[in-house]
Amino acid sequence: MFKQKALFIIVGVFSVFFFSCSQNPTAIGSDLLNGDFQSVKTLDSVTDSLKQTSSYFKQSIPLSISSYLFLGKKNNVQGSILIKFLITLPDSINQALKANTAQVISSLVTFPSGYFYGDSTANLDFNVYQINNSWTVANYTADNLSSLNYTPTDLSSNRNVTDSLTTFKLSNTLTTQWAIAAADSVDSTIYGIYLLPTSNSQKIIGFSNSTSNTPQINLQMVIQKTGAYIDTVTLYPAQDVSVISGSLPKVNSEDIVVQAGLEVNSKLWFDLSKIPSNAVINHADLILTPDSSNQLFGNTFYNTLVASMLKDSASALIDSSSTNYYGQLLPLSSGQYFGNIAAIVQHWVSTNSNQGLILEADGNLLGLELYALKGSNAANFQSRPHLRITYSLRK
């Protein structure tokens, strides 16, 4: 009986020890298991009054790999669209159009909606212009618009905008010109159309682009040959791209900003000179407080920020030499954006080279979300960017 009780106690103690060790240990515990460290210390940007700086800036990014084409205006942001259709018609129709024995009697363009930014019931209006010069999707940004040549005459009519679909009729004269040019193998002169929102637009819609799954943007041309046929041909984009332009958003003077699409990012730097170079960083929690009164989100978005280590603060160049240094997610948790950047802090301490962080929006090509965050000059110290570090010192 005594042996059975003793065996039971031994097994129980061993089970507890095994279970405890099998769980994911804390960052502190995992670093101290080898006994090579003499102390565990903390450094807190709030309680230790660490010097910090923050700022925000705008840069142009290409949206060619985005799933959406953005059109409209909202606050500081404008979305416009360049699109060129692939004109492929049967030879019989081509010849009839060239001989002027057939006519295009309708040209309807359809844009399926998938995203909106701003009040979905607000107004959206736009004009459609003929593009007169060649352009390519690759790396096309707002910086390229200054070289875009287009005729400022609206070629659209019967514009209809709903939650799920936007349609408009396009000039039959223009689509006839496209068809004849394609039939003559001079389709290099078909440069497409430019959709530009009018000043009274108060929202932005994201349309599924040519790389998305169905339903897709399309152009339906109805062609009539008198006494012979009426035929409908559906055409799809050869290339399309969205251009986001605008100014820095207006927010509280205490705030810093991250905005997707327009690509407004923030830089953040903490003075970590108090941490010895021989320290091992166990944990480094970065906590950011949103200013909800200045934020604006679309109908679908990732409510997550991304922190990356800067290689050069002046040029905002990200250090992409290791996945530990860029793309660290800061999801919203209990009302704050929160994440562990221990690997980045370790690099700063070990190399004595701290260029700071850049903060971006997760999914910055998929929307126009505006994140306002309390910055380094916020009057309330508790709401400033908060870095809480736990580290161990070697013997």
Question: Could you read off the pLDDT of 140-182 as tens digits, one per residue?
Answer: 999 999 999 999 999 999 999 998 899 999 999 999 999 988 8
Query: Residue 89: how many CB atoms within 10 A of its CB?
Result: 20
* Average pLDDT score over residue span 226-248: 92
Distance CA 253, CA 129 (A): 39
pLDDT of 211 reads: 74
Residues near 27 by Cβ (< 8 Å), separated by ≥ 6? 282, 283, 340, 342, 390
Distance CA 275, CA 298 (A): 41
Distance CA 362, CA 112 (A): 24
User: Where does 260-345 show beta strands of DSSP type E?
Assistant: 264-270, 279-288, 304-312, 317-318, 328-333, 336-340
pLDDT for residue 27 is more than 50 = no
75: left (phi over 0), alpha (psi -120 to 50) or beta: left
pLDDT for residue 343 is more than 90 = yes
pLDDT of 1 reads: 42
* Average pLDDT score over residue span 29-33: 45
Confirm whether pTM is higher than 0.75: yes
* 3-state DSSP percent of the chain in helix, strand and coil, to 5: 20, 40, 40
**pLDDT over 90 for what percent of the chain?**
75
Lowest mean pLDDT among 33-47, 165-179, 254-268: 33-47
Lowest mean pLDDT among 108-112, 211-215, 297-301: 211-215
Contact status, residue 165 vs residue 150, Cβ threshold 8 Å: no
Distance CA 102, CA 276 (A): 82
pLDDT for residue 42 is more than 50 = yes
pLDDT for residue 303 is more than 90 = yes
**Rounded alpha-carbon distances, angstroms, from residue 270 to 54, 56, 331, 376, 386:** 9, 15, 21, 10, 9
Radius of gyration of the chain (CA): 29
Residues near 28 by Cβ (< 8 Å), separated by ≥ 6? 40, 282, 283, 390, 392
What are the tokens at 13?
A: 């103690």
* 73-94 confidence digits (pLDDT tens): 999 999 999 999 999 999 889 8
DSSP characters for 46-102?
TTTT--EEEEEEE-----TT-SEEEEEEETTEEEEEEEEE-----HHHHHHHHTTSS
pLDDT for residue 21 is more than 50 = no
pLDDT for residue 13 is more than 50 = no
Residues near 227 by Cβ (< 8 Å), separated by ≥ 6? none
Of 268, 244, 247, residue with least CA distance to 256: 268
What are the tokens at 366?
A: 């998929």
